[in-house]
Amino acid sequence: MTIHPQTIQIFLPSGDPQGIREATLITRTIRTIEIPRSRLDTFLRMSESSQVGIYFLFGENDQTGQPRAYIGQTGNLGTRLKQHNEKKDFWNRAIVALSLTHSLTVAHAHFLEWLAIKKTTEAERYELDNQTLGTYPHTPAPMEAECREIFETIDTLLTTLGFPLFAPPIKTTHIFSEPTENIYSIEEKDLSNTFYCRTNGVDGQARYTEEGLVILKGSFGRLQPCDGFSRHNTGYVAKRQALIDQGILKPDADRLVFTKDMVFKSPSPAAVFLLGRAANGWTEWKDAQGRTLADVMKRNENSKDRNE
């Protein structure tokens, strides 16, 4: 997605910020409509429901809490969403993308669906509920160029609405080196804003972003939690096992290795996953100078002022 100043208009047809929301870039002809599952009947009565378009279903994995999505295209958005309402359980919100000028064709929608699935798979941010990833559809060069411009608009609107489907969890480039003599390593090209959680059997590296703490692929923690921790933290144990089952965490000898970048909304669960014990992430994560995340983010400034 190209970053530059843009003006986005969000319209609330019912006036309810939690209801249906329509978003447009004022200079583009693509509109997205966000539909809570509970308001699907309202969308089905809208004229836009009969249009050609691409659509996205959003929810989460019940076991791990990881965000989940399904991507599709159709010649009739209302009919397809009604089918998914009957057959798919995981989703709670849908977003449809359509043309204000009714210029999208099924050929456009096929290419956009393929490209959206491809970009989502590469970003590794959402679990995809799609059973197949599809194949590149033969598309004339002028239409493909048009579709890629449309896709950029959809990307911007989805992200603005809170669904950064195509964005990797972290934008900086890092390289995960495959194990040599059972040692994993991460080569950072940019060490600014990097935090570390390191102790015996633990080597975690992370970046603090707008969405939370992102543990970098290749970080590893303890395979076995500390004595007593598992018995009193069954939710943590279940979530960790689910991530192992999905291959996000890979057991290796006496350690658990992150096979992909993973976002934690709070730094404490990120530290707990690595250390296998109760932990305060604000103090466990430290930068290259040894400053805690709390100090870097100036969380302690007020308390220091009160003590002086």
The answer to whether residue 151 scores a pLDDT higher than 90 is yes
On whether both 152 and 195 belong to a single domain, the answer is: no
Domain annotation covers residue 169: no
Mean pLDDT in residue range 153-179: 74
Residue type, 84: H
Mean pLDDT in residue range 296-301: 72
On whether both 156 and 243 belong to a single domain, the answer is: no
Domain annotation covers residue 17: yes
186/204 Cα distance (integer angstroms) = 10
pTM of the prediction?
0.71
pLDDT of residue 4: 76
On whether both 34 and 151 belong to a single domain, the answer is: yes
Hunting for tokens 């009160």 — which residue is that?
306
The answer to whether residue 203 scores a pLDDT higher than 90 is yes
239/235 Cα distance (integer angstroms) = 6
The answer to whether residue 228 scores a pLDDT higher than 80 is no
On whether both 268 and 203 belong to a single domain, the answer is: yes
Mean pLDDT in residue range 184-196: 58
Quote the number of domains for the chain.
2
Mean pLDDT in residue range 209-216: 86
Domain-terminating residue out of 130, 160, 190:
160
Domain-terminating residue out of 133, 160, 187:
160
On whether both 66 and 207 belong to a single domain, the answer is: no
Highest mean pLDDT among 58-67, 68-77, 178-187, 239-248: 68-77
Q: How do residues 235-261 score in pLDDT, each as one tens digit?
A: 777 888 888 888 889 999 889 999 989
Between 111-125, 224-238, 265-279, the lowest mean confidence (pLDDT) is in 224-238
pLDDT of residue 284: 95
On whether both 149 and 53 belong to a single domain, the answer is: yes
Q: How do residues 1-46 score in pLDDT, each as one tens digit?
A: 567 788 999 999 999 999 999 999 989 999 999 999 999 999 999 9
On whether both 232 and 100 belong to a single domain, the answer is: no
On whether both 84 and 220 belong to a single domain, the answer is: no
123/115 Cα distance (integer angstroms) = 12
On whether both 113 and 185 belong to a single domain, the answer is: no
Domain annotation covers residue 108: yes
Decide: 262 and 230 in contact? Cβ < 8 Å.
Answer: no
Q: Following DSSP, what letter does each residue of 155-173 receive, concatenated? A: HHHHHHTT--TTS-S--S-
| Neighbour tally for 276: CB within 10 Å | 23
On whether both 146 and 16 belong to a single domain, the answer is: yes
Domain-terminating residue out of 137, 160, 183:
160
Q: Whole domain around residue 258: which residue ranges?
A: 174-307
> Where on the phi/psi map is residue 292: left (φ > 0), alpha (ψ -120 to 50), or beta?
beta
On whether both 198 and 151 belong to a single domain, the answer is: no
pLDDT of residue 143: 96
Looking at every residue in the chain, the average pLDDT score rounds to 86
pLDDT band at 184 (very low <50, low <70, confident <90, very high): very low
The answer to whether residue 128 scores a pLDDT higher than 70 is yes
> Would you call 300 exposed, middle or buried from its count of C-beta atoms within 10 A (0-12, 13-18, 19+)?
middle
On whether both 19 and 155 belong to a single domain, the answer is: yes
SS3 275: helix
